[in-house]
Chains A and B, each alone.
Chain A
């Protein structure tokens, strides 16, 4: 118990200091995101004529829980087996396996609390009460089931990768399915008010308690049995060969064969694909969410169809505008990753310095990266619009041209600001997003404005971007 207290204490201190370092993100960005969600998504949800049935909600929540557990496999295995993490010291010290797993479970539960918070926000948006003992019991169970299921799945995943045992793999899948089903049911109960009657709720709570207890017991048993032989294998999982041949070719093509640019772009793409920061997942998640919302809006018939008076005025139909705004939002969310990447790379700029790289080359590589990152999001918006029948077939090519223009403008603005303030990535993220959304939003409403912004604003932005890149390449201040 003393060991667990010491480990938890060290993590608390470290977590508290991380929070202090990221006060800006927590106190400014958090409320900003919540506010935007409330006034944007919340309003759409409240005013939408379509609402999901109970079964649709349950299915979506089970799918969400399964996705969460699957996405957490890698992170949970790092927490259990201490892969390249400070907790390696626990393996070398006389710390029991039980204390190590308890610490990993506590850490996973603390991270899963974020899911509970999201569920609460969803409930609040749906107009349900957010302060009640019953609700907090369900929330606690949701966190317990999901966290223990994630840890058990991670143990099973590493074991199966190591030994490839069919029976063990099937048992692990069964555990995963149980976790996803019960956590999904709890998530549906928490996020949707008034879904269950008293009997159903009691059964759900009882099922949740039993499932959490079962998953925890299985996790401890599997850990005690497998840890000694799997720990070394888990540490070597990261040493496997990595995919990435296509990245070189893509970078070469995007940079027109300029090696000093394509080598930087290939590196940046690899770092992004390998998740250099959790911001990568956040940006990808936001972009995917925007596209899914677009599909839901278009397919659910929430937006009025309308008929345009002429072909040229089709651009202002609500459905077409929705596609264009989704294109801007998704592209901006993807490209907004740049300031975070530059901040991440700043301690390693000695490489660019020692290679004699010019500021313009460093900046231009980031501009190309913004375009490459934003391209799939913009394409997805157009494809979603066309596939859902949002536009008349005769306007689809024109909408494609508009989406291309928006992608180009948004990614240019985001790329141009990449080196604006790498010592304050949180603020840089907000500035980049605001600038890209403002330019893209105006261009989405009236496309000639986009041309005007590009013609008049991009040249000075590029000059400034090159100067900032040169400054940060030569300055080591704040690194």
Chain B
């Protein structure tokens, strides 16, 4: 792990009624690191991610982004975060270009950055069309472009691969590696284990609202005693 921790999650818990969705989770993600969050449906990944990005307030514990506490200085913390949610809602009657410019404006970034991201995520051909007419893949690319606008130091991507074609998956992986090498920190939640094994420096396996195993993909293999099996089997073994 790098010396500088850009994202620090300390003993956060979140309860919905009788259900304890996240139970005292702590983790640190350093500059130049990709941290993968894996777990079954309902394990608490999305709730944890929502607390990391300031969309939900922890019942206890704290989240700090680049030294800014999310609870006390939410705006300063959010300025450093780029977020792709799993469920995407867009203005149906704005064009892709208009949407990206809106996000750029709210983040205090130049419109030129919006154009660059539209170019990178291959949205140029459709950026003049209303978002309501976009396919699932187009919408995902638009969400990704919005997350990367403003060169945030911490990027939190919830299921970034859903709906993307193979070419764009590869392009995204290379982009993540490039940004990581430039010093950004990533938290990626994904069910695509090949992506996790290839792109992540460390992974945390969540089950029942807690991180039950954590380490590099190689360490997790060793922990599970499965050096040659597919990573899906390693995850299944650890989550169980």
Among B55, B83, B103, point to the contact of A231 (Cβ < 8 A): B55
Give the residues in chain A near B74, CB-CB below 8 Å.
228
Interface 1/0 per residue, B46-77 and A, CB below 8 Å: 00001001111100000000000001001110
Is A89's CB under 8 angstroms from B103's CB?
yes
- C-alpha spacing A90/B71, complex, angstroms: 17
Among B53, B57, B108, point to the contact of A92 (Cβ < 8 A): B53
Interface residues of A in 1-27 (CB under 8 A from B): 2-3, 6-7, 9-10, 13-14, 17-18, 21
- C-alpha spacing A447/B198, complex, angstroms: 78
- C-alpha spacing A92/B155, complex, angstroms: 12
A3-B106 contact in complex given A18-B93, A86-B90, A92-B83, C-beta closer than 8 Å = yes
- C-alpha spacing A3/B57, complex, angstroms: 23
Give the residues in chain A near B92, CB-CB below 8 Å.
14, 86
Is B105's CB under 8 angstroms from A88's CB?
no
Among B56, B83, B85, B94, point to the contact of A10 (Cβ < 8 A): B94
Give the residues in chain A near B55, CB-CB below 8 Å.
88, 91-92, 231-232
Give the residues in chain B near A3, CB-CB below 8 Å.
105-106
**What is the minimal beta-carbon distance from B54 to any residue of chain A, in angstroms?**
7
Among B81, B93, B105, B108, point to the contact of A14 (Cβ < 8 A): B93
Is B106's CB under 8 angstroms from A6's CB?
yes
**What is the minimal beta-carbon distance from A228 to any residue of chain B, in angstroms?**
5
**What is the minimal beta-carbon distance from B79 to any residue of chain A, in angstroms?**
4
Interface 1/0 per residue, A88-111 and B, CB below 8 Å: 111111111000000000000000
Interface 1/0 per residue, A420-431 and B, CB below 8 Å: 000000000000
Is A236's CB under 8 angstroms from B16's CB?
yes
Q: Which of A84, A92, A236 has the most CB of B within 10 A?
A: A92
A92-B56 contact in complex given A86-B90, A236-B16, C-beta closer than 8 Å = no
Is A13's CB under 8 angstroms from B16's CB?
no
- C-alpha spacing A229/B106, complex, angstroms: 23
Give the residues in chain A near B130, CB-CB below 8 Å.
17
- C-alpha spacing A95/B146, complex, angstroms: 15
Residue of B nearest to A229 (CB): B57
- Report if B98 contacts A (CB, 8 A): yes
- C-alpha spacing A463/B53, complex, angstroms: 57
Secondary structure at chain A's binding surface: helix, strand, loop or mixed?
helix
- Report if B91 contacts A (CB, 8 A): yes
- C-alpha spacing A94/B77, complex, angstroms: 8
Is B93's CB under 8 angstroms from A88's CB?
no
Is A86's CB under 8 angstroms from B91's CB?
yes
- C-alpha spacing A91/B130, complex, angstroms: 23
- Report if A85 contacts B (CB, 8 A): yes
Is B91's CB under 8 angstroms from A10's CB?
yes
- Report if B115 contacts A (CB, 8 A): no
Is B16's CB under 8 angstroms from A92's CB?
no
Residue of A nearest to B101 (CB): A6
Residue of B nearest to A228 (CB): B57
**What is the minimal beta-carbon distance from B72 to any residue of chain A, in angstroms?**
11
Give the residues in chain A near B57, CB-CB below 8 Å.
228-229, 231-232
Residue of B nearest to A90 (CB): B106
Give the residues in chain B near A2, CB-CB below 8 Å.
105
Interface residues of B in 1-60 (CB under 8 A from A): 16, 50, 53-57
- C-alpha spacing A18/B94, complex, angstroms: 10
- Report if B123 contacts A (CB, 8 A): no
- C-alpha spacing A140/B94, complex, angstroms: 30
Give the residues in chain B near A95, CB-CB below 8 Å.
75, 106
**What is the minimal beta-carbon distance from B110 to any residue of chain A, in angstroms?**
14
Is B102's CB under 8 angstroms from A6's CB?
yes
**What is the minimal beta-carbon distance from B181 to any residue of chain A, in angstroms?**
25
- Report if B113 contacts A (CB, 8 A): no
A10-B54 contact in complex given A84-B89, A93-B78, C-beta closer than 8 Å = no
- C-alpha spacing A18/B91, complex, angstroms: 11
Residue of B nearest to A85 (CB): B89
**What is the minimal beta-carbon distance from B149 to any residue of chain A, in angstroms?**
10
A94-B85 contact in complex given A89-B146, A228-B57, C-beta closer than 8 Å = no
Is B94's CB under 8 angstroms from A94's CB?
no
Give the residues in chain B near A229, CB-CB below 8 Å.
57
Give the residues in chain B near A89, CB-CB below 8 Å.
103, 106, 146
Residue of A nearest to B149 (CB): A93
- C-alpha spacing A14/B53, complex, angstroms: 27
Q: Which 8 A-B pairs have the closest CB atoms?
A: A17-B93, A232-B56, A94-B78, A86-B91, A94-B79, A92-B83, A6-B105, A14-B93
Q: Other CB < 8 Å A-B pairs besides A89-B106, A91-B55, A94-B107, 20 of them?
A: A3-B106, A7-B102, A13-B94, A14-B93, A17-B130, A86-B89, A89-B103, A89-B146, A91-B54, A92-B53, A92-B78, A92-B81, A93-B103, A93-B106, A94-B76, A94-B79, A94-B106, A229-B57, A231-B56, A232-B57
25 A-B pairs in the complex with CB atoms less than 8 angstroms apart:
A2-B105, A3-B105, A3-B106, A7-B102, A10-B94, A14-B92, A14-B93, A14-B94, A21-B93, A85-B89, A86-B89, A88-B89, A89-B103, A89-B106, A90-B106, A91-B55, A92-B54, A92-B55, A92-B83, A94-B75, A94-B76, A94-B79, A94-B107, A94-B108, A232-B55
